Amino acid sequence: MTEAEPAENQVQDGSESEYSRPVVKRAPRLSREDVFAAADAILVAGEKVTIANVRDHLGRGSPNTIQEHLETWWKRLGSRLRDIPGREFPNIPEPVAEALQGLWVTAVENAHAAIDRNTAQRDAALEERELAIAARERKLLDESQATLARSAALEEHLALAREQLASANARAERFESLLQARDAHIERLRTREEDLELQARELHGKLEAAAEAFQMERSRQEERHAANESRWLLEIDRGRQAAKETAKDHERQLKELRLQVSQIQGQRDELKRDLNETRADLRRTESARTLAEKRLAGVVLKAVKAARTAAATGTGARRATRGKPPK
């Protein structure tokens, strides 16, 4: 892209307008002499005469304009060197001079081609570097998005683990309440068993006391009513029958009490088995809750490490990319 021609600082002669714009002064276009002088200074300094060096030496100028003047400078360099006082070329035939001039032009064109190749290679390298940087940025962006996705998945797993832990705690509390209720029921059954055993002992004592009383009454009846043995024997038989009936009743009540005691003992054994099963369920629940807490802690630790690693990797890559100077 060539530089714009310098704008002339003109003022219109017509009627003055209050909305007239100020004229902006632009830098004058580079002349051929400016480029030639800069190229000569660079060549005398022992450096390569390139578009970039000329532009740096002048501090301004379009690369296309500098290239256009440099091509003329390279073509005229041989004749200029030949015309330097004290360094005139010897008089040679015109065909030889033309051949030497052609060789010089060929050398200049080859030098330009080499410069163009170097420039193209450097541009390709810069483009390749920019593509690599863009690919690295895309990779970092993909890794960041993957990290965010993993963090979201870990958050979901964490929420699910918390819900499972809350459910396990609720089940454990229900089991604990059920266990306490069963313990209270077992205690009531134990108290009832003790009461029934006490009643059985009282009934057995009453039966023994009745038998002793019967024997005593029989002895007294035998001693006092020896003469009326038949009548008293009949009364004794009646008493025996009554005693037998009473004994049968007592025996029946005793059997019923023993059956009730046996049933209560069976219920107590069943409740003990239920209690053992409930305690085993509670222990399994405690183990599951402990395992869930450990898994939850491991998931949280992995999420934190992954987030820190991704953040450190992204920050280091950005710093390394920003810190490298352009070639």
Q: What percent of the chain has pLDDT over 90?
A: 0
Q: What percent of the chain has pLDDT over 70?
A: 78
Q: For residue 143, how far is the Cα from the chain centroid?
A: 12
- 5 three-class SS: coil
Is pLDDT of 72 > 80? yes
Q: In angstroms, rounded to a whole number, what is the distance separating the alpha carbons of residues 109 and 98?
A: 16
CA dist list (Å): 59 to 38, 146, 193, 203, 326: 11, 48, 114, 129, 20
Q: Kindly report, residue by residue over 223-277, the tens digit of the pLDDT.
A: 777 767 677 677 778 878 887 888 788 788 888 888 888 888 888 888 888 888 8
Class of domain 144-323: mainly alpha
Quickly state the pLDDT bin for 302 (edges 50, 70, 90): confident
Is pLDDT of 9 > 60? no
Assigned token pair, 35: 């480029």
Quickly state the pLDDT bin for 14 (edges 50, 70, 90): very low
**Which residue has tokens 């992204």?**
314
**Single pTM value for the model:** 0.25
DSSP single-letter state for residue 226: S
Q: In angstroms, rounded to a whole number, what is the distance separating the alpha carbons of residues 138 and 240?
A: 112
DSSP sequence for 250-311: HHHHHHHHHHHHHHHHHHHHHHHHHHHHHHHHHHHHHHHHHHHHHHHHHHHHHHHHHHHHHH
CA dist list (Å): 308 to 141, 301, 312: 16, 11, 6
Q: For residue 139, how far is the Cα from the chain centroid?
A: 18
Quickly state the pLDDT bin for 322 (edges 50, 70, 90): low
Burial class (CB in 10 A: 0-12, 13-18, 19+), 100: middle
Q: Kindly report, residue by residue over 53-70, the tens digit of the pLDDT.
A: 898 998 888 888 888 888
Q: Pick the most confident of 6-20, 56-70, 291-305.
A: 56-70
Which residues have CB under 8 Å from 30's CB, separation 6+?
3, 58, 60, 61, 62, 65, 66, 69
* Sequence ranges of the domains in the chain: 32-126, 144-323
